[in-house]
Amino acid sequence: TGNHEYFSGAEQWVNHVRELGLIPLENARVELGGFDLAGVNDIAGETEGQGPDFGRALGDRDRSRAAVLLAHQPVVIHDAVEHGVDLQLSG
């Protein structure tokens, strides 16, 4: 999620994304060929109890695999480093 979803009904937006056949990575991870792709909720979601949860998204992964993190705001980079992320994509 990004910060704007929380200004206009994040749950509705995420459900719509699912209806389109996409899988939102809400504090979750998938294993792809050669690397793990993880996503964390935006920090704006903390006001609704839905902020980023790095432990849930990255806590039990095999750290010998590369990890790419999708995080809307780059300010969470320190949490990403603590959880062994190799590349963070933000925007």
pLDDT-derived band at 1, boundaries 50, 70, 90: low
Report the number of distinct structural domains present in the chain: 1
pTM above 0.75, yes or no: yes
Give the integer Cα–Cα distance in Å for 31 and 83.
16
Residue 4: the pLDDT is 53
Which residue segment(s) compose the domain that 79 sits in? 3-89
Give the integer Cα–Cα distance in Å for 48 and 62.
30
Q: Is the pLDDT of residue 68 over 90?
A: yes
Residue 90 token pair: 């933000």
**Alpha-carbon distance values, 38 to 9, 68, 69, 71 (Å):** 23, 6, 5, 9
Q: Count CA atoms closer than 13 A to 36's CA, side-chain side.
A: 20
pLDDT-derived band at 9, boundaries 50, 70, 90: low
User: 9 in the Ramachandran plot: left (φ > 0), alpha (ψ -120 to 50) or beta?
Assistant: left
Residue 86: the pLDDT is 98
Residue 38: the pLDDT is 98
